[in-house]
Chain A
Amino acid sequence: MAKKLITVTVNGKQHESAVEPRTLLVHYLREELNLTGAHIGCETSHCGACTVDIDGQSVKSCTHLAVQCDGSEVLTVEGLANKGVLHAVQEAFYQEHGLQCGFCTPGMLVRSYRLLQENPNPTEEEIRIGISGNLCRCTGYQNIVKAVQSAARKLQEAATAAA
């Protein structure tokens, strides 16, 4: 199959790649770029384990083509930490025991990261709705919700301190 040339910025680093038009973004990330954080848990866009951030939106990379990302900025779980310092959502998932087997965690974190940009001070209900595109089979979500609440507080405090 003829390949298409795409230019994608992933976690701040620009990549030029020749990909088959049918290559799914999640396979491109995992197999071409060796970014295996995003996982594949279904093929129907339900589980959200493959969630990444494209140009400021949460996207399920298992039903998105790599060629659709030509010229885009993609953020994966590997890009959340900054120079070795964990992002507030990562730290909060650790502190609040918001993960068990870890398989949903990358998608959950990237989604939570975006949710808190969309709504920096969400209610519990807004968090539950906001992460409802991401399934977790281990935690029962209770500690994930706590983690997102905790991260929201930390980010708010940091924003207030900076202002």
Chain B
Amino acid sequence: MNAPTDNAEARELALAGMGASRLRKEDARFIQGKGNYVDDLKLPGMLHMDIVRAPVAHARIKRINKEAALAMPGVHAVLTADDLKPLKLHWMPTLAGDVAAVLADEKVHFQMQEVAIVIADDRYIAADAVEAVEVEYEELPVVLDPFEALKPDAPVLREDLAGKTEGAHGKREHHNHIFTWEAGDKAAADAAFDAAPVKVSQHMYYPRVHPCPLETCGCVANFDPIRGELTTHITSQAPHVVRTVVSLLSGIPESKVRIISPDIGGGFGNKVGIYPGYVCAIVASIVLGRPVKWVEDRIENISSTAFARDYHMDGELAATDDGKILGLRVNVVADHGAFDACADPTKFPAGLFHICSGSYDVPAAHASVKGVYTNKAPGGVAYRCSFRVTEAVYLIERMVDVLAQKLGMDKAEIRAKNFIKKEQFPYTSAFGFEYDSGDYHTALQKVLDAVDYKGLRAEQAAKRADPDSPTLMGIGLVTFTEIVGAGPSKMCDILGVGMFDSCEIRVHPTGSAIARMGTITQGQGHQTTYAQIIATELGIPSEVIQVEEGDTSTAPYGLGTYGSRSTPVAGAAIALAARKIHAKAKKIAAHLLEVNENDLDWEVDRFKLKSDDSKFKTMAEISWAAYNQPPEGLEPGLEAVHYYDPPNFTFPFGIYLCVVDIDRATGETKIRRFYALDDCGTRINPMIIDGQIHGGLTEGFAVAMGQQMPFDAQGNLMGNTLMDYFLPTAVETPKWETDFTVTPSPHHPIGAKGVAESPHVGSIPTFTSAVVDAFSHLGVTHLDMPHSSYRLWKSLRDNGAAL
């Protein structure tokens, strides 16, 4: 019997589908202390691993004495590179085509490098035993500056690469050179510069920073020697890739390797890589036949797993006298640390840095990135951004400001003049990317109106005219375009695996459903938002849709969650898997109603007869029928899998404006206002989007205003605890104003583009733009981050603006 026909709008609302600010499904466990993070796991017989790390940045290991540690009660093993050698696991391949030492093999390449591991009954004994391992080092000259590293007589850092003139990304020109990667058309860019009446250039350094999620990295490796099966709970943003790598490294068939990413306490790129700690814990579990837990502490986390940025950039713009950009040239020297372990798609050693022509119609462009080894930790991860997109956006946004300043133009005006116009989309950039959609002019005007831009400029002029003004006022404006959703497998792969993603949906007989995904949430709220997509596609209330991720034994293969790829890639897989089910459901409905499929219309949660509204079958009825009376020739059941290989990236954009007041006596900066307009295409859950934007802006604030990883001359990292490394508290964090426009992606099944990284990518240059703007009337064109009070106080003094 049919349910009473109620109002379609009410039924749609009840689904809590796309567009609803649905409260989060994951919260119930977290607010009651019932999350399931890696360190919460306790297995019978579980041992604890701790790591002996190098106190020096560059040294030969003369001798390691394990005796005292091994003699301690409760210590089961001490392993060094020599112990891993017979297993050929003392080195491992990196995602970037290099190799990295799992445990330092004869030589230490950076401070805090892993030298030996200790396995003990509990974490206290393991920590004691770490202290008891004696390592004798012969120190070598330390190279920390990538420009110094490239000098002919610089010390050889990677002796293991001696004689290798060819790297994974082409020719190596020097013993500390990794690659030189180029994009764009050099001849065209040079010609544009030769002919241009106006040229500007600017050097800028994007400091080495760390994503620093609140949960550090760790794992529990559990090898079952009887079954020959390895199960590892791990803090990974890409569990399926980890399974493949572990299988390749260990020789255990992939079918006997199970990787589980449980709840993850924030990732931000820190949890993409495969770190020596994971490998060692797995080896220890295989060797000892018992579960082994390893969880790094904060100092280890900041020192050794996953730095980001560290780009020395030179930008140049060529333009007409009235500010139309004619050409862009960029040269980057990239400090990759001791091993090239950047997490980028294989073909792109500088990630998607060539999005650096930004939101602008730049006719000719060329970029060159040179990767260099130094005695610093490896990493180069995408810290809350798509691969190297943060660096690219910073570069172009700074350069446009520099050009505006040179020409005496307003920074809003010069942007509007150079924007890719709405009617130019799809637009192919000088670097060859096809931008899917955008409407930059509308978004910019919305922001300028919202903040009364003219009024702000008038206020600034008045302040500048007043020699007694206690503050310098700066207005920052950034109009960024991101490239996310990596990516089309014709361009993007990781270790040869195409960067598709996947979804499997099963609709149960009673009408509820489960979806399993190749991605893994780390706070983004996938369990909530993915269900909303299915709810809208299939008319099943999101409340009864379970979303599971992170277990490689149950979920279909996917490349994971980073680079804002979950919604653009996995979100599309969900929609298309749901549409397969929808198509089958339609056949069943037609069968039940004894009509032709073409006679049916879909409405919210049911198929109804075009000719008679009162005749319909709901998804609940269809689900039941799928399991007991499917039409002849149709398999029972109602489920589908979809692997989505995106045809293109997506290109979210945003317009951010920031007003700062810098205290002329102290250099302290007050963020008076921050207005963030984001366009991420179709919006699935506005509440979650706003939350993601608040978080991303706060991380951007941290990077711009305080984060850095300074080294002393010996290669000691000076900022590897939370005493030194800046994570803003609620007190420093500004209040955020958010806004949006909606320009759907034309090639995405639901038009969504991805959102969570835009605020990080976009806000960082906005802060710099605002800070520099405060000094611009004094002739300052650029100030490097971090814009800490001390550094700004020095700038005030240097420019005669201090009180």
Contact = CB atoms under 8 A, between A and B. Distances in A.
A130 B297 CA distance: 26
A101 B698 contact: no
15 contacts: A20-B124, A36-B37, A44-B721, A77-B33, A100-B523, A103-B266, A127-B730, A128-B730, A128-B733, A129-B730, A137-B212, A137-B268, A138-B691, A138-B695, A140-B694
B648 interface: no
Interface residue tally on A, bucketed by range: 35 or more
Given A34-B42, A44-B723, A93-B31, A49 B694 contact: no
- Sort A-B residue pairs by CB-CB distance and give the 6 closest, nearest first: A37-B33, A103-B265, A102-B30, A101-B523, A140-B698, A140-B694
Interface in B390-404: none
B12 interface: no
Contact of A103 (B32, B42, B215, B297): B215
Contacts of B298: 41-44, 47
B699 interface: yes
A68 B282 CA distance: 36
Nearest to A41: B214
A104 B215 CA distance: 9
B216 A141 contact: no
Contacts of A138: 214, 266, 523, 691, 695
Interface in A1-49: 20, 22-23, 27, 30-31, 34-44, 46-47, 49
B542 to A, nearest CB: 16
B400 to A, nearest CB: 27
Given A37-B34, A49-B214, A94-B28, A44 B698 contact: no
Given A22-B124, A142-B694, A94 B27 contact: yes
Interface string A42-73: 11101101000000000000000000000000
Contact of B730 (A36, A81, A145): A145
Given A42-B298, A142-B735, A97 B265 contact: no
Interface string B37-51: 101101000000000
Contacts, number: 180
Nearest to A1: B124
Contacts of A74: none
Contacts of B727: 46-47, 135, 137
B347 interface: no
Interface of A: 20, 22-23, 27, 30-31, 34-44, 46-47, 49, 76-78, 80-81, 86, 90, 93-95, 97, 99-106, 109, 127-129, 131-145
A141 B27 CA distance: 16
B697 interface: yes
B697 A140 contact: yes
Contacts of B694: 139-143
A81 B32 contact: yes
Given A77-B33, A137-B214, A138-B695, A46 B265 contact: no
Nearest to A77: B33
A140 B265 CA distance: 15
Contact of A97 (B34, B688, B699): B688
B722 A46 contact: yes
A38 B266 CA distance: 16
A36 B40 contact: yes
